[in-house]
Amino acid sequence: MPKYYPTAPKNKIKDNIRALYDFFLGREQQKQTLNLSPLVSFADSYDHKEWEKYFKDGWQNSYANLGTGNSLMQHSQFILQRIGYPELAKLSSCDDIISNAIDILVRECLSKWGHINVELNDDTLSDEARQEKANEIIEYLENRLNDLNVRSLLYTACKKAFGFGGVGIYLAFKGNQDLSKEVVISNETKDNKLIDIRVVEPWLFAPSEVNFSNPLESDYMKPQKWYVTGAGMVHTSRLLTLQFFEVADLIKPLYNFMGISLCQLMLDKVKSADSIRQSLSDMFLRFRTAIIKTPALMSADKEELRQRIEIINMSENNFGKLILRDDEEYINSITPISGYDKIQAQAYETIAASARIPINKLFGQTPTGLNNSGAYDLQSFYDTIQGFQNTTILPLIEKILNILANEIDFEGVVSFEFESPMKLSALDESNQANLEADFYTKLINAGVISQDEALLELQRKGFLDKNINVSEGEDIGEDIQNALSGLSDLDNG
């Protein structure tokens, strides 16, 4: 029986409980039919009152304090604080700070690509034949990724996932298939050839079949089917999802079973910083005030007084002159502005923290503090980027690679490994090349690894050209040093 979320509103829950109670007591004459009709699928709503009404009817759990007591008010606050997709689209595209943060994160995540690794399970092949076949499979998979334009699609998907909180990635297979059925990838289903990949924004689809009843099952709070506008029901094996900031299961329905947007995480901090900026701007506009103390203020003609003030304001510059009577006193009141720059800087640091980006990279400002160059902040930032790559983007790439590997005669494991996002200077690259050369030369001389293994590892890391081949029995210990010596010359440059 399909499992929907939510199953029924509160008025149906009471009828269902009464029907089950009568059934177990054997009251056939009062037996009622269980109402298991699903509610209408939802994605985003522009009317918060409708959302509030919907969840008041759909949530009831006395143990978790849902739908009872103050929980209704709390969920109403959740609903009101949630930013709708139209506003998220505007913030991610038009707000200069938020859009810049999204661009930085996406560029850093995908500025460097990676390499495909293949491990064959065929023990009948020799090491040389196994490596040759693995290279052929890697070349095929790389060509297929390029044909499908996967890297460019991932850039678009990541940008929308940061902006909307999540995004759908539709896998189009060859032939007219029932989209509501699961795609089976195995050696017996090689006809399921992937022909296209498309990015679908989350406001265009909504969960339709979700297990919310049994938290011990693997598909708990994970939609198994989506309703896509214009296409109907689509199985989750055909519509993959990508989100960077997941939310708790308790509030997943509020976010369309996607994650929370970076826009929402940053918006309050951006508004606060902008309010501080505007307040400081207004303060600088009138930080100096000219005061003229005169005893004839009350008896003076108002029109004459107004004209005098206008003349003083017009001539108030370095070349202006001010004429006062003997009984008048001129006072120049200046509001101190020292320390306000630190307030603005702290507001920007709060924005940078909410964006997970160092302030020197997001705003181009030097971090405050004694001898603070920002190097450790950048190292922490690239650790965060590596976390995004390995926990969010990598599973999606490997899912696509496994589908593509099924198109050929292959038994083994396909994996993908990102290059380090950390950008090294020329000196650091030179030092790393020297260390790699010394390390592999020592391993070859000690007989720990073969020359072929050392060559393949250096080629994989990008230190040597992949077109270099090694003849059987040829000593390449010195050749490795010579091949890497070009980089070491940068030390003397």
pLDDT at 462: 66
When pLDDT is averaged across residues 467-474 and rounded to a whole number, the result is 52
pLDDT at 50: 47
Most confidently modeled range among 236-240, 436-440, 488-492: 236-240
Are the C-beta atoms of 134 and 373 separated by less than 8 Å?
no
pLDDT at 18: 63
pLDDT at 5: 39
| 54-63, 237-246, 299-308, 408-417: segment of lowest average pLDDT | 54-63
Instruction: Give yes or no for residue 482 having a pLDDT over 90.
Output: no
pLDDT at 40: 42
The per-residue pLDDT of the chain, averaged, comes to 76
Banded model confidence at residue 479, pLDDT cuts 50, 70, 90: low
Residue 22: both structure tokens together:
């009568």
Banded model confidence at residue 473, pLDDT cuts 50, 70, 90: very low
Residue 187: both structure tokens together:
């050696």
pLDDT at 141: 92
Instruction: Give yes or no for residue 458 having a pLDDT over 60.
Output: yes
**C-alpha–C-alpha distance, residues 459 and 437, integer Å:** 12
Instruction: Give yes or no for residue 74 having a pLDDT over 70.
Output: no
Are the C-beta atoms of 84 and 160 separated by less than 8 Å?
no
Task: Write a three-state SS string for the chain.
Answer: CCCCCCCCCHHHHHHHHHHHHHHHCCCHHHCCCCCCCCCCCCCCCCCHHHHHHHHHHHCCECCCCECCCCHHHHHHHHHHHCCCHHHHHHHHHHCHHHHHHHHHHHHHHHCCCEEEEEEECCCCCCHHHHHHHHHHHHHHHHHHHHHCCHHHHHHHHHHHHHHHCCEEEEEEECCCCCCCCCCCCCCCCCCCCEEEEEEECHHHEEEEECECCCCCCCCECCCCEEEECCCEEEECCCEEEECCCCCCHHHHHHHCCCCCCHHHHHHHHHHHHHHHHHHHHHHHHCCEEEEEECCCCCCCCHHHHHHHHHHHHHCCCCCCCCCCCCCCEEEEEECCCCCHHHHHHHHHHHHHHHHCCCHHHHCCCCCCCCCCCCHHHHHHHHHHHHHHHHHHHHHHHHHHHHHHHCCCCCCEEEEEEECCCCCCCHHHHHHHHHHHHHHHHHHHHCCCCCHHHHHHHHHHCCCCCCCCCCCCCCCCHHHHHHHHHHHHHHHCC
When pLDDT is averaged across residues 32-48 and rounded to a whole number, the result is 45
Bigger pLDDT: 367 or 58? 367
Banded model confidence at residue 79, pLDDT cuts 50, 70, 90: low
Banded model confidence at residue 90, pLDDT cuts 50, 70, 90: very high
When pLDDT is averaged across residues 66-71 and rounded to a whole number, the result is 50
Instruction: Give yes or no for residue 427 having a pLDDT over 50.
Output: yes
Instruction: Give yes or no for residue 93 having a pLDDT over 70.
Output: yes
pLDDT above 90 coverage of the chain, percent: 24
Residue 193: both structure tokens together:
């050839």
pLDDT at 488: 47
Instruction: Give yes or no for residue 464 having a pLDDT over 60.
Output: yes
Bigger pLDDT: 326 or 139? 139
Instruction: Give yes or no for residue 438 having a pLDDT over 70.
Output: yes
When pLDDT is averaged across residues 232-238 and rounded to a whole number, the result is 91
Instruction: Write the pLDDT tens digit of every residue in 201-224.
Output: 999 998 888 888 888 888 888 999
**C-alpha–C-alpha distance, residues 192 and 184, integer Å:** 8
When pLDDT is averaged across residues 304-329 and rounded to a whole number, the result is 74
Cis check for the bond before 6: say yes or no (omega within 30 of 0).
yes
pLDDT at 187: 63
Could you give phi then psi for residue 181, rounded to 5 degrees?
Answer: -100, 155
When pLDDT is averaged across residues 342-371 and rounded to a whole number, the result is 81
**C-alpha–C-alpha distance, residues 192 and 296, integer Å:** 95
- Tell me, yes or no, if the pTM score tops 0.85: no
**C-alpha–C-alpha distance, residues 147 and 261, integer Å:** 31
Most confidently modeled range among 144-158, 266-280, 416-430, 469-483: 144-158
